[in-house]
Structure 1
Amino acid sequence: MNPTFELGYWRFGLRTASEWSKRLGKESKKPWTEVLNGLAPLPVRDGMYVLDEVVEDFWTKYNFEHPALIGTYGMLPGDGVDKETVRRTLHKIQQVWNFDRTWGWDFPMLAMCAARLGEPNRALDFLLHPSGGFQFDGRGLATGGPYPYFPSNGALLYAVAMMAAGWDGAPKTNAPGFPQDGSWTIRYEGLSPAP
């Protein structure tokens, strides 16, 4: 009940729909506002976000599944998120998750969260993680199969683009998602900041 990622996505979607209505010169639809205002808060246990209000022991029992709860502040802009709670959650995921069994969008999603939190080295650690589920072959395939696996490929592209172009509220510096210590030289063109 009340999964963290889905609650964050609904908040973002309803807020965005309302903003777009206003940009079109229309009033936001009352049911959208009612649903948005009635959404449950993101579930927290022991000072960290959890998958949902019901699942117990996910830090040990389900720590190989997609860590989607972190997507609320990374892939999504963080509607309803407390930054320090998400920081503790990200650090806990990095400590206990079984990354040898993860795949797809997991590492880019974690990298985007770390970048938004101002932890670019951690973001790069996630993008460069040696997990077999996130290794790209010479053709750019991450799963070892004959076809692209778009969650891996698309998430990697989105994460790197976001780290380069920034996001709403990002530090006003070139490539704010990358280390600013001179160890990286980032050039890009035609990218818009993420929401």
Structure 2
Amino acid sequence: MKPQFHLPLTTRPEASSFAIIENAIQFSLHQGADLVASLAVARRHGHEAAETYSDDDEFQADRFDRDAAAQLVRHLRERAERVGLDVRLVPTEAEAMSATIRLAELARAYDVTILENTELARPIVESLVFDSGRPLLLLPSADFYGRIDNIAIAWDGSATAARSVANAFPMIQSATKVTVIFVGAAARRRVFLIAIPKH
């Protein structure tokens, strides 16, 4: 079974960039993963949310901007189709106050969640780091071409570190070089470089 990567798309407090869509697509291709994008939609009164997003879905006025959402979805579909990547788009329901909690819960179903590293995304990032229990990949607001070839692992011998390394193993396995940094009073300044040959 292919890894399943998760790309949350947002319109508020800032809209996701086209760069994060491109980066997520390229990274998913490089890792041989399927990509699932989520975009919150409002529940219409008396109706369940649609199973897939369409331009006619209504967004909560105080949380989502219809035009920005439509542009993100259009760009995602066009780019994924162009490179032949299997991308699914799923709706989520989240009130403004519980959006970060809902996103953390949703992230638990995926191998990796991909987010853009911006100042306004900090609350979402913190929620995913502490509440999802799954790996989070923060990418810059610029193209990086989908490859992660040099990985640093901060290792202190704890169960948390072991879980983190195990969760990130698919990315570690595809890297060219891995740097293991031992953290702790007895192991300061101990650094190991591991070269991993390409398949």
Q: More strand per residue: 1 or 2?
A: 2
TM > 0.5: no
Q: TM-score, normalised by structure 1?
A: 0.32
